[in-house]
């Protein structure tokens, strides 16, 4: 069975997760084999996470978070909690001090201004 193609966002997640796991491992003074022995994630699977070639399952993110005694979001950005947007509309999102990117490249300021106007319904 063929694997599905990863989205650009998933590819970025793999890089982030790899970096965070390597930092946690370095700070802990432990080795990958210690994780394998403790949490039961197969060594080759774990190596894929650390090299950024595999995206961990939610269950394995939870195991790793417990092992390192951190929140799941400290390992995997997919678990970063989002605040309810009840009091915000789409146009408000463009006014935040947020870095906007598309496919990993910054969106030019001129294009951001255009998008903001569109989100506001063409108002200036």
pLDDT, tens digit, 9 for 90 and up, residues 70-113 = 999 999 999 987 655 444 444 444 445 555 666 667 777 777 77
Q: What local confidence, expressed as pLDDT, does residue 103 receive? A: 66
What is the model's pTM? 0.64
Residue 75 burial (10 A CB sphere; 0-12, 13-18, 19+): buried
- The CA-based diameter of the chain, rounded to the nearest angstrom, is 60
CA distance 82 to 21: 22
**Percentage of residues in the chain with pLDDT exceeding 70?**
77
CA distance 17 to 72: 11
Which domains, from first to last, does the chain contain? 8-79 (1.10.260.40), 90-119 (no CATH)
Cβ 59 vs Cβ 84: under 8 Å: no
Q: Would you place residue 29 in the very low, low, confident or very high pLDDT band (cuts 50, 70, 90)?
A: very high
Q: What local confidence, expressed as pLDDT, does residue 24 receive? A: 96
- Average pLDDT in the 48-54 region? 96
Q: Which two tokens stand for residue 84?
A: 């309810």
Of these ranges, 5-19, 46-60, 89-103, the one predicted with the greatest mean pLDDT is 46-60
| Backbone region of residue 92 per phi and psi (left: phi > 0; alpha: psi in -120 to 50; beta: other values) | alpha
């Amino acid at each position: 069975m063929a694997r599905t193609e990863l989205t650009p966002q998933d590819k970025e997640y793999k890089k982030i997760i790899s970096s965070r796991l390597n930092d946690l491992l370095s700070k802990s003074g432990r080795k990958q084999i210690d994780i394998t022995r403790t949490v039961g994630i197969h060594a080759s699977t774990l190596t894929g996470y650390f090299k950024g070639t595999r995206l961990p399952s939610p269950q394995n993110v939870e195991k790793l978070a417990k092992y390192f005694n951190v929140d799941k979001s400290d390992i995997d950005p997919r678990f970063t909690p989002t605040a309810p947007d009840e009091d915000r509309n789409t146009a408000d999102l463009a006014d935040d001090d947020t870095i906007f990117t598309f496919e990993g490249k910054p969106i030019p300021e001129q294009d951001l201004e255009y998008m903001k106007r569109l989100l506001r319904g063409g108002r200036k």
